Amino acid sequence: MKIRFNLSLFWLCLGVSALCSSAHGRRLPEPGGQATIFIAPNKESSFIEAHLSIPLLEANKPSKTTSQTSYSASSWRSSFIESIEESNKNQSWSITPKLEQAATIRMSIHQCFSHTTSGKARWPAKILHLLDIKSQIKLTTGGVKITFSSPVGPLPELLAGCEIRAGKESLQGPFTLSGKRVLRSNRKSFVAAPLLDTVTLTSSTQDAHINQSRSTTISGNILVAPIPDVLLLFQSSNAVQLDPIKLSQPTGTTDFYKYLNIPLLLSISEETYGRRAETILPPGIAPPLPLAKHHPSISPLLNLPPLRTNAPVYTLQSDLGQPLLQNTGDRLRVIFRNHGIRLAQSGANPGDLQLVQWHSPTSDPGLAILHLANLYNQKFGYTPKEITKELQRKLLSSNLEKRLEAALKAQRDLLSSKV
């Protein structure tokens, strides 16, 4: 197979929902103009890095059907790669560069696939490490050759997570950093110059042209992220087995959602969009399923008796700095208390439960599930047993339909097991 390139809401799934991570835009600046942006402080460094670097590989507009192969000539574009050819049943791949950029491509892939213990490894490296797949990246007469210890079908999808970082004079990105929070158009950019001359990050939500804010009072158009974030409640294998809040009972999940009251959580957290989800994979990754019909009913009041001194104790780990996660954690404590159980904050130690906000770095369903499995592994030190070796191989198939089928099976199994 040969590939040739042209030159050119949260989703809340608490165990078991969907908030669309959104931004507000007051106007679209004219080409050559300036834009002021407010984003969450913990996102600023990644935002700046993305505008200083050059993607190794980018997907064109995705196909509306999953039957079309993801390796069509119109699916990908790159400023560095002319073509990719697989051999040995997806265990070896040969990359032909553009403009004698083989060494640059090799260095980019090496950095992208190298796993580190510092937590700064890129997501393709984390997936390969999770599956214990080793890679050798060598320069050849015609370009670059990658050899894996096991077959890897969706290589272009992995390469889409790699980048060329600004370095030598001839390989500069579209922007340069002027001061700590000002990006200016780079006339020496290796790729096409951006339409904007200046992008400024601001601490004020009032003056921003684009504002990533939870506030519902800001006027302007809503820009919804193509892949919503997912709020997930992970349970350790021990918590699944003991089932403290009776999720495995016939009405356990229904009662849990009833008591959780997602609309109220979204409202008090000032989230713009969101709803309960029936799936883990959000829109943009897998075809959305219709929501189950939930008949309106009056929720019974929770029974909140004083906890016994010897009441069972479970621990929850979550980010207290995010309003939605904090409010959801508080609500979970009320639900646990209804069952006579104390739910304590675990701090830095792994808890029995983990409340996490997950954003998939890829729209590929197979790689998204593997990225989620790696996140679970990071939290508890092991991979969910539902992600079997056989399923892992299918999630790395060269066929998009097979990857989607495997991802949907993994999703069903994870939800059924209440992990």
pTM: 0.84
Residue 182 has pLDDT above 50, yes or no: yes
pLDDT for position 261: 83
- 25-69 per-position pLDDT tens digit: 555 555 678 888 888 777 888 888 888 888 999 888 654 444 333
State residue 407 phi and psi, 5-degree precision: -65, -40
Residue 95 has pLDDT above 90, yes or no: yes
Rounded to an integer, what distance in angstroms lies between the CA atom of residue 365 and that of residue 407? 6
Mean pLDDT of the chain: 81
**Where does the pLDDT of residue 406 fall: very low under 50, low under 70, confident under 90, or very high at 90 and above?**
very high
Measure CA of the first residue to CA of the last residue in the chain; give whole Å. Answer: 38
**Strand order across the beta sheet in which 2-4 lies:** 2-4, 81-87, 92-97, 144-148, 135-139
How large is the average pLDDT for residues 302-324? Answer: 86
pLDDT > 90: percent of the chain: 31
- 223-254 per-position pLDDT tens digit: 667 788 888 888 888 888 899 889 888 888 88
- 254-268 per-position pLDDT tens digit: 888 888 888 888 888
pLDDT for position 253: 85
pLDDT for position 297: 55
pLDDT for position 172: 81
